[in-house]
Structure 1
Amino acid sequence: MQYDKEILRVLAEAGNEGLSVRKISRHVYNACNSLFNPIEQEEVHRYVQLYLLKNCKTVGSIFEKTRKGVYRLNKANQTTQRHLLLFRDEEEIAEEKPVEDQSLSLF
């Protein structure tokens, strides 16, 4: 689902400190909500909360809980490391395309 990918992307950008569930759900809501496909913020918040709770219970899980309501990516997990490499590759591809100024000079 698209929410899962956005959760991974947000936590990859957050770094070692992690983010609270409320902030993660807000980022996911803003990334996935559109004019033609409106979603409820509380629905997204419930999904993010349950998804993180479900996926941080084991020692080798993708997510780890740092303190109450705050999650981060588990750097020791191989799947997490693979996702981080994928996100870095996508960022590098986006940065490599230089934008040329096509406007006409006034003088």
Structure 2
Amino acid sequence: MAYEQQILHILSEVGERGINVSMLAKHVYNLNCTLFSQPDLQEVKQFVQQYLLKNSKSPQSLIESTGRRGYYRLNTGNNADARQLMLEFREELVEEEPEIEKPSQDLSLSLFD
């Protein structure tokens, strides 16, 4: 998964309250750390900052500032793509839950018959 997709996925999970840039960068960093390779945290943080600034400039942008300094969220009010992302990620989460089958009747044998 590319950094951009990971950023959008995390922003969809945090919802309306938004997330701090440094926390978002740490989440993206942790998603990309493996046993054999680790990205540079400063590079990831710089990429996240540039991506958020680039994609939050206009009122119709995909990402918006929450009003608190350094906090961002998806712009679901003015952007149809952001609303669609929220729906897609919610559907993904629902599909991942395993279905538990409940037996309709007890078919076990009795030991005392």
- Place the TM-score, normalised by the shorter chain, in its bin: 0.7 to 0.9
* Deviation, structure 1 residue 14: 0.9
AA in 1 matched with 2:69: K
Aligned to 1:30: 30
| Counterpart residue type for residue 11 of structure 1 | L
Q: Secondary structure at the match of 1:64?
A: strand
Partner in structure 2 of residue 96 of structure 1: 98
Once residues 37 and 61 of structure 1 are traced to their aligned partners in structure 2, the CA distance between those partners, rounded to angstroms, is 33
Please identify the structure whose Cα radius of gyration is greater. 2
Structure 2: state its 5+ residue gaps: 101-113
Matches within 5 A, 1:1-107: 2-66=2-66, 67-76=68-77, 77-98=79-100
Unaligned runs of 5+ in 1: 99-107
Relative to the length of structure 2, the TM-score reads 0.80
Q: Give the distance between the partners of 2:33 and 2:43, measured in 1 at CA.
A: 12
Paired residue secondary structure (2:17): coil
When residues 6 and 97 of structure 1 are mapped into structure 2, their CA distance, relative to the original with a 3 A threshold, is farther
Q: Give the distance between the partners of 1:74 and 1:89, measured in 2 at CA.
A: 19
Aligned partners of 1:37, 1:86: CA distance in 2, in Å? 30
What's the TM-score once normalised by structure 1's chain length? 0.84
What CA RMSD, in Å, does the superposition of the two structures yield over aligned residues? 1.4
Task: Give the Cα separation in 2 of the matches to 1:26 and 1:83.
Answer: 22
Paired-residue identity, %: 41
Contact 1:75 1:81 in 2 (8 A): yes
